Structure 1
Amino acid sequence: MIRPKQISLFGIPRTARSTIRIRFNSSSATPPKPRSRGTKWAQRGAITAGIITGLWVCDDKLNASAVTRSLKTAYIGLLCTLDYKINFSPSKADQIEALHERVASRLKWVIDTNQGLYLKLGQALGLQAALLPKPYREAFGHVFDRAPAVSYDEVIGVFQKDLSINPLDVFQTFSEEPLASASIAQVHKATLHPKIGGEGKVVAVKVQKPAIEKQMEWDLFSYRALMWVSEKLFDMPNCLLTSMPNSAKYVSSQMRLETSFRNEANNARRCSELLAQTPELRDDVYVPKVYGEAEGCIESDRIMVMEWVDGCRLNDRQQLEKWNLDLRETMDLAISTMSAMTFSWGFIHCDPHPGNILVRPHPTKKGKPQIVLIDHGLYISLPREFREDYCTLWRSLFVLDVPKIETIARKWGIALDANMFASAILLRPFQVNKGKKQKEKVPEKSQYEQQVELKERMKKMLENEQLIPRELIFLTRCQRMMQANNQLLGSPSSRVNLTARWASTGYTNSLTGSRSLNSVGISTWLKDRLDAFIFKCTLGIVDLVFWFTLKKQRFLPKEKGGWEDKLQKQFEAMAKEEFGIEIDDTVFLG
């Protein structure tokens, strides 16, 4: 019998390999000592820390810390959610104030740390802080302050990335230090080349901060996620959280538009065109010229060039008096401008804080003021049907047409009695229903009970959230800002009456067809005349009371507060009595 040959591997016969293995096993060499569990965990920890550090560095250098910012937000959101779920209960009613303080402090930390779009989102929340507990009002009060600026090197980087040029390639001069800095952008002063705007034409160059482009989608995703969690876990109407139905998506879309300077330039041009078509305002309200590609200048989504205009803030009473400009004329112009946008144009500047409405002595009318509108990033357009309803509502309030007021409220999904609805629209106490309520004495409630009851009442009031026009919230915000501007100047203007007159004009223009006796019949014709009479009488009475208040202020120095201050106090008292809401909106006065 023939035995098979021994198979070799790497040239070593099988028998030889067995011998080697035996000799190795029987040698005196000791095998390697196994690692301890602690050593393994230390090595794993070091590897994990290295990976996290590497990711953090990449996120910081390449992605403007967008992921890190979102993780901070997620952490704070989870912490606040757990805190409320655990500690907002009847058994801890005496600790509710401390709970609000903790949560407000955390939200403030996120906004202050992340900056950028978080300041914009913080401003959106801050403008609703009037309805929130005191700790939130204090936490969000700072978000309207000046934002930190970025370096000149970063500004050059934006020019190079968007246009492949340096600032001095297109401008004769360009200030390295910004003259103003906001959450999204900063403004530099420059002069145009003669071929563009004439010799030494001074312009304002608005440059977006470079991190915004990388952070925007992450920040907006974090915002939408927080709103969704808040709505689902706490059973709060979405419009109460961020002031409008489907608000998270709507705010996100508005933020995207606001970061597009091409969109802002188009808004400014359209506003200027509409002013030119409004005889009452076109000489007294000015929109600085935008220099773009059509003028042989530069433009991009992150760079905008505008005419430089010197002026003071709308609320700078000292400077206005120094220029000998009449405060009432100045404020009347500002209110008329916002009213024309609302009731005539249907195209509204939605950020009318004092820094965006400048005043200067009129270039051609000696001793008269001229309003200058800047920062056109946030506009809304009103659908025709809504604008007609809004005009009708304002006019109906002054002719005491209660059925019409209630019809519009129901159409907008708001279950509110006519008196409270009217007061909320006008931002002043207003009675259209004269029926008196019997006041019942109720036992004092804990903070927990008050806040639970408030939530339920607000949910009931907003009986069909999806019907609430999102434009209504922006309009109310604009009205409150203009009321605050009036307050800061000592309430020289009769805001409600002036707005009502523009609303009446808008109502008349919205009517289709003839309103003659032959066209509408005797009944409708007589009602039109009666409504017009009541409207004029109501305005006359309010004007008389307003005049009396101004005289009282003038001749009684001890009398503190102007017309708007008194209206605001009465409105706050009404809100507390009707809803238990303690309104404190001093944030609008900043």
Structure 2
Amino acid sequence: MNPRSLLVLRRPIHTSRSLHFPSSSTSSTITPPPSTVQVGYRARSTSKWVKRVGVIGVVGGGLYLVDREFNASAITRSLRTAYIGILCTLDYKINFSPTKADKIEALHERVASRLRWVIDTNQGLYLKLGQALGLQAALLPKPYREAFGHVFDRAPAVSYDEVLGVFQRDLSLDPSEIFETFSHEPFASASIAQVHKATLKPGVGGPGHDGGGTVVAVKVQKPAIEKQMELDLFSYRSLMWLSEKLFELPMYFVADYVSSQMRLETSFTNEANNARRCAALLAQTPELKDDVYVPRVYGEAEGCKQSDRVMVMEWIDGCRLNDKKQLQEWDLNLREVMDLAISTMSAMTFSWGFIHCDPHPGNILVRPHPRKKGKPQIVLIDHGLYIDLPQKFREEYCTLWRSLFVLDVPMIESIAKKWGIALDANLFASAILLRPFQVNKLKVKKGQEKVETQEEKDKSQYEQQVELKRRLRTMLENEQLIPRELIFLGRCQRMMQANNQLLGSPSSRVNLTARWASIGYTRSVTGSRSLRTVGTWTWLKDRYQAVLFRFTLSIVDIAFWFTTQTQRILPKEKGGWEDRLQAQFETMAKEEFGIEIDDQVFLG
């Protein structure tokens, strides 16, 4: 073979030439197998999703950081609440049914646990809102009462640098400019603010403070509250709306009223005005003016700048109202202490119409009277939450209390109807007094109550709770007529009852409150009721009711005295006067209306 021909055979094939294969159709390109196309498409699709997820993650992370650093996590808190709200709604819609009656208790526990987690995680104003929810939780299943039973006096403090930031932003100064000393660590921390102990510089504090050194309490609002407030309140209203839909109970109707009160509570300018007004009203009340004290608030007139987030007050040393050990060490009479506290709240309710609505033990201090040896003096602090009672409502409330003790059943039923409350007169009276009270004979045949109780036991949990909802909806038949003030009045009454319980029930709370109601009735309701003004029949009726009122109070006083003597003679006898009244009231509510009440939260 010719060597040249071998070279030709070995010549490589050039890529510029086309290679044709026999086919029914010709093409200039080679089509890859179908499997290769699918793999490539999936790869490109996966890549797009990875990119999208990455972008979403970066944007979401950026928004989270911005919200945390510049908005005090207000949006994150609201989204967290919304998530829990949606989760609870779905849980109820799916699992609250007659076919799952045996699992309803577990359902309540899950939902209550989630709500508690939201409050504990969000902190801040959510602690206050948790207290507001707790007011209505007393009528809800047990897990909800337990969930809201921990929201008092639990709030972490903020750093001193953040306190400095509040001073510089609101007052354009450093604490050292008006205070000789200022504690970096707070003396106390609550949900909205914290308190620092300080001393004034010479010349600050007005006349009598030229030498300086006056000890004061400086209340500083936590900086996050201002940023979080509106979204937190929106979340609260949303939860109330959701609760109404879940439980099919009228709960949302108080949401706007509570929200407006919460806004006022975050304003220290409003708190300072409340404190000054309370002090002025005490000065006009002879029965209390020497024995109840409101710490002085230092404002512009005293050389102390004030804002909505910084307030300077007189420092007072005292113990909590329920500190029984300290009161006994000071040799103070427990009954005198509680009588003063109850009288103060009663005067606010029935005489002033201006009420301190947060009378838990930490806001009512006690100290030995500075001028009366061996006597106590009550000191009122934290004046952020007050309500004004409209004149018409206050007159009706005074009339109601007096009517309960003169057994004026038509008047009691008339007031309940005006307030849109369809409730048995006995239970309505008991709910107002927080003690079992019978103004009308029970129309129940012998043996019927026992049969009904057994029937209730035979019902499933689902049936019992459906029946309870029906009864509560009937009770609150016209929510638009219900005075919103009753929400806070009921809370104050229950707190004072709890304070009395914690000291061993030394005071006859119901009688003392009723006497102040009678004073309020005489001063603000009756006006001139002389024989010539009202006529013979009305004048005689007034005299009869006055005698009956005093007689009823005397009977209750005798029962109270008998109970206290029994406790002394038989120390093993468990529970004081208030404990027994509360237990009887709870039993009455359960047996007559199907409501299980257990509001131990107020013992905080």
- The TM-score, its normalising length taken from structure 1, stands at 0.92
1:360 maps to a residue whose letter is: R
Aligned residues of 1:119 and 1:183 also touching (Cα < 8 A): yes
Q: 2:189 aligns with which of 181, 185, 205?
A: 181
CA distance in 2, matches of 1:220, 1:518: 55
Deviation string, structure 1 residues 186-220 (Cα, Å, up to 9, x no partner)? 00000011212322100000000011111111111
What is the percentage of aligned positions where both structures have the same residue? 79
| 1:247 is the counterpart of 2:272 | no
Residue matched to 1:532: 546
Aligned-pair distance for 1:231?
2.6
**1:126 CA drift (Å):** 2.3
Pairing 1:88–2:115 present = no
Aligned position for 2:376: 369
- Cα distance change on mapping 1:125 and 1:232 into 2, 3 Å: closer
Q: Which residue of 1 aligns with 2:5?
A: none
Q: Which residue in 1 is equivalent to 2:240?
A: 227
Alignment partner of 1:212 out of 203, 211, 225: 225
Aligned equivalents of 2:420, 2:55: Cα separation in 1: 57
* Deviation for aligned residue 1:260: 0.4
> SS where residue 198 of structure 2 aligns?
strand
Name the counterpart of 1:522. 536
Judge conservation of contact 2:248–2:469 (CA < 8 Å) in 1. Answer: no
CA distance in 1, matches of 2:508, 2:518: 16
Deviations 1:306-332 (A, max 9, x none): 000000000000000000000000000
CA RMSD of aligned residues (A): 1.7
Aligned-residue offset at 1:159: 0.6
In 1: Cα distance, 2:511 partner to 2:250 partner: 33
Amino acid across the alignment from 2:79: L
1:157-556 equivalence runs, <5 A: 157-197=165-205, 198=209, 199-232=212-245, 234-238=247-251, 246-438=253-445, 439-440=448-449, 441-442=451-452, 443=455, 444-511=458-525, 513-556=527-570
How many angstroms apart in 2 are the aligned matches of 1:53 and 1:187? Answer: 35
**What SS does the aligned partner of 1:203 have?**
strand
**Of 114-123 and 138-147, the range deviating more from structure 2:** 138-147
Residues 127, 587 of structure 1: 8 Å contact kept:
no
SS in 1 for 2:149: helix
- Does the aligned pair in 2 maintain the 1:185–1:208 contact within 8 Å? yes
Q: Which residue of 2 aligns with 1:9?
A: none
Work out the CA distance in 2 between the residues paired with 1:326 and 1:233. 48
What residue is the counterpart of 2:24 in the other structure? none
For 2:21, the equivalent position in structure 1 comes to: none
| Structure 2 unaligned residues grouped into runs of 5+ | 1-27, 30-39
Task: Give the distance between the partners of 2:365 and 2:573, measured in 1 at CA.
Answer: 30
1:508-547 CA-partner distances (Å, limit 9, x unpaired): 1124553222222211111011001100100001001101
Tell me, yes or no, if the aligned pair for 2:178 and 2:204 is still in contact at 8 Å.
no
Q: CA deviation at 1:372?
A: 0.1
User: How many residues in Structure 1 have an aligned counterpart in Structure 2?
Assistant: 557
Aligned equivalent of 2:50: 42
Q: 465-474 or 427-436: which moved more?
A: 427-436
Q: Does the CA-based 8 Å contact 1:127-1:588 persist in structure 2?
A: no
Residues 451-497 of structure 1, C-alpha deviations (whole Å, 9 max, x = no match): 11111101001111100001112111101100000000000000000
Point out the more displaced range, 409-418 or 512-521: 512-521
Q: Deviations over 1:114-169 (max 9, x none)?
A: 10111111111223332222211222221113310000000001111111111112
Could you say what secondary structure the match of 1:205 adopts?
Answer: strand
1:262-296: CA deviations, max 9, x gaps?
00000000000000000000000000000011211
Aligned counterparts of 1:554 and 1:128: Cα–Cα separation in 2: 37
